[in-house]
């Protein structure tokens, strides 16, 4: 049974570090993980627990009064395709709508980089109602084309 809780304590950083370190196919660079671990402190954070064990999370930041962004999210691999990511997005959306936000965006790896793991991530976001807005190579560099996806809340 999966339970979702909002986390406001330093557990945000512990959960982010634990889960991202296990998702090596998506988060393979230690310095990037460290940046996320530090960055989640300032974000709204929901974790998914199975019994007492955190198995996934979503971290949301505000870009302006209308638009929020999925700063980072991850589900432990054995728990993929069980609907947990969808539940976390729904929880975040409810929070954002209640706080007057109109758009939710996410940056992910674009399809001009042929990497199957992120093709699956994009399928997930599409299924959750996100549309591709623009791929920009200047954000993460030529090697890591950044796709901005967005949905109306
Ligand atoms: C992307 C991620 C958060 C999705 O979470 P999840 O709990 O596995 O997703 P869900 O079970 O809610 O999937 C919902 C729908 O999205 C689509 N989807 C999700 N994973 C998919 C996959 N691997 N292949 C194809 N479609 C997929 C499906 O349509 C799925 O519905 P279905 O299972 O009924 O067919 C999770 O796979 C993950 O942590 N990936 C690694 C880290 C990552 O990519 N983070 C985002 C960085 S920007």
State which H helix or E strand residue 127 sits in. helix 116-127
State which H helix or E strand residue 72 sits in. strand 67-75
Q: Which CATH superfamily is domain 2-152 in?
A: Gcn5-related N-acetyltransferase (GNAT) (3.40.630.30)
Report the DSSP beta bridge partners of residue 151: 104
Could you identify the atom of ligand 1 that is nearest to the CA of residue 108? Answer: 48
Query: Region 127-147: what's the mean pLDDT?
Result: 97
pLDDT at 97: 98
Q: What is the pTM of this model?
A: 0.97
Task: Provide the residue ranges of all domains of the chain, joining segments of one domain with +.
Answer: 2-152
Which residue has the CA at smallest separation from atom 41 of ligand 1?
Answer: 74
Report the DSSP beta bridge partners of residue 6: 46
Instruction: Give the E-state strand segments of 38-127 in sequence order.
Output: 44-50, 53-62, 67-75, 103-109
pLDDT at 102: 98
Tell me 77's DSSP state: G
Cβ of 74 below 6 Å from ligand 1: yes
pLDDT in tens, 39-77: 999 999 999 999 999 999 999 999 999 999 999 999 999
Ligand 1 mean position to 85 CA, how many Å? 6
Ligand 1 mean position to 73 CA, how many Å? 11
47: exposed, middle or buried (C-beta count within 10 Å: 0-12, 13-18, 19+)?
Answer: buried
pLDDT at 104: 98
Cβ of 58 below 6 Å from ligand 1: no
Ligand 1 mean position to 69 CA, how many Å? 18
């Amino acid at each position: 049974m999966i339970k979702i809780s909002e986390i406001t304590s330093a557990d945000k950083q512990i959960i982010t570090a634990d889960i991202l370190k296990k998702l090596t196919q998506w988060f393979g660079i230690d310095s990037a993980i460290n940046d996320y671990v530090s960055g989640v402190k300032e974000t709204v954070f929901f974790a998914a627990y199975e019994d007492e064990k955190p198995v996934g999370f979503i971290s949301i930041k505000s870009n302006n009064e209308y638009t929020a962004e999925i700063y980072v999210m991850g589900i432990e691999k054995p728990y993929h395709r069980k609907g947990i990511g969808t539940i976390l997005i729904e929880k975040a959306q409810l929070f954002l709508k209640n706080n007057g936000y109109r758009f939710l965006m996410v940056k992910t790896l674009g399809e001009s980089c042929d990497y199957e793991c992120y093709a699956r991530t994009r399928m997930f976001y599409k299924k959750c109602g996100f549309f591709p807005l623009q791929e920009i190579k200047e954000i993460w560099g030529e090697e890591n084309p950044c796709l901005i996806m967005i949905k109306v809340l």
